[in-house]
């Protein structure tokens, strides 16, 4: 499978731009780079039926987040609070930072 580039990182605030959860906003919990997908908090909820594993345990239906393709997500700029495209910029000291194309502000790397 060919990988695409994604500028999404853990703890980024994103908006869903297409699909059943269109217009909803959430925080990225996990990025699955090999599948080009991301797991977003309270987005794309699915029901998982689990069997009892022990004698005293009951079977149950668990709701959890399923991965969403990164092409269906758009990053929200923390400075201008708009969704927009992201560019990579190299600073004078050689570090790469993500920048918002609409306002030009830098997007901090919170996760690590």
What confidence tens digit (pLDDT) does each residue in 20-69 have? 999 999 999 999 999 999 999 999 999 999 999 999 999 999 999 999 99
3-state secondary structure 15-74: EECCCCCCCCEEEEEEEECCCCEEEECCCCEEEEEECCCCCCCCCEEEEEECCEEHHHEE
Does the model's pTM come out above 0.75? yes
Largest Cα–Cα distance of the chain, in whole Å?
63
**Non-local CB neighbours of 101 within 8 Å, separated by 6+ positions:** 84, 85, 86, 87
Residue the block writes with tokens 């992201």: 86
């Amino acid at each position: 499978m060919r990988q695409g580039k994604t500028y999404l990182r853990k703890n980024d605030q994103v908006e869903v731009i297409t699909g059943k959860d269109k217009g909803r906003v959430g925080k990225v919990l996990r990025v699955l780079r090999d599948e080009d997908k991301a797991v977003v908090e309270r987005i794309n909820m699915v029901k998982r039926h689990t069997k009892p594993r022990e004698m005293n345990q009951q079977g149950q239906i668990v709701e959890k987040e399923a991965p969403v393709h990164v092409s269906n997500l758009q990053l929200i700029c923390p400075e201008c609070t708009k969704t927009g495209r992201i560019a990579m910029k190299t600073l004078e000291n050689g570090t790469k930072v993500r920048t918002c194309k609409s306002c030009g502000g830098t997007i901090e790397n919170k996760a690590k």
